Amino acid sequence: MPVNTGFGSLNIGKDAVLDVILPDNSILPLAILTSFTKKQNTKELDSKGLDGINRLASIPDTWSGDLSVDRASSVLDDYFAQVEATYFATGTLNALRITETITETNGTITQYRYDGVALAYADAGTFTGDAYVKQKLNWKASKRIKVQ
């Protein structure tokens, strides 16, 4: 739920819900998702003509980011073990989808879908005394589409 600061409403992290959708359309349960980052990647073009004019363009390319998770089960370890086994047995890697659903400050819903997602297990976690095991996934998508 957006927070009203007295100077207007602002979104907070709890306003977003993320689903990682597997090739069979099931959802990869992420246990306790603690953060999600995203950024648009662009191809920068820069031409400096002999006439002295700079001609610039920023072409949309891919999207990328990461997900941070507090480990609550072996789901991610099992998923990536299966991905690895399938790859070495068949040479196949399947693209995923991510859907991001945001409750806006006015109560409406905005939804984006990231297609062609490659997911990497950037950090499977460190087990230390009385501490949560933090895991990190990196992702890259071929494109983002506004669904709603």
Q: Tell me, what CATH number does 57's domain have?
A: 2.30.110
Interval 78-98 mean pLDDT: 96
Interval 63-78 mean pLDDT: 96
Residue 42 has pLDDT above 90, yes or no: yes
Total domains, the chain? 1
pLDDT of residue 14: 83
Interval 72-80 mean pLDDT: 96
8 A C-beta contact, residue 70 and residue 32: yes
pLDDT of residue 7: 72
Residue 128 has pLDDT above 80, yes or no: yes
Structural domain boundaries, residue 43: 3-146
Q: How confident is the model at residue 140 (pLDDT cuts 50, 70, 90)?
A: very high
Q: State the sign of the Cα–Cα–Cα–Cα dihedral 115, 76, 66, 71.
A: positive
pLDDT of residue 12: 81
Percent of the chain with pLDDT over 90: 86
pLDDT of residue 31: 82
Greatest Cα pair distance, the chain, in angstroms, is 65
**Integer Cα distance of 105 and 95 in angstroms:** 32
In 3D, which of 23, 19, 127 has the Cα closest to residue 77? 127
Tokens standing for 109?
Answer: 């819903």
pLDDT of residue 3: 72
Q: How confident is the model at residue 1 (pLDDT cuts 50, 70, 90)?
A: low
**Integer Cα distance of 124 and 122 in angstroms:** 7
**Ramachandran region, residue 6 (left: φ > 0; alpha: ψ -120 to 50; beta: rest):** left
Interval 18-41 mean pLDDT: 95
More confident residue, 58 or 15: 58
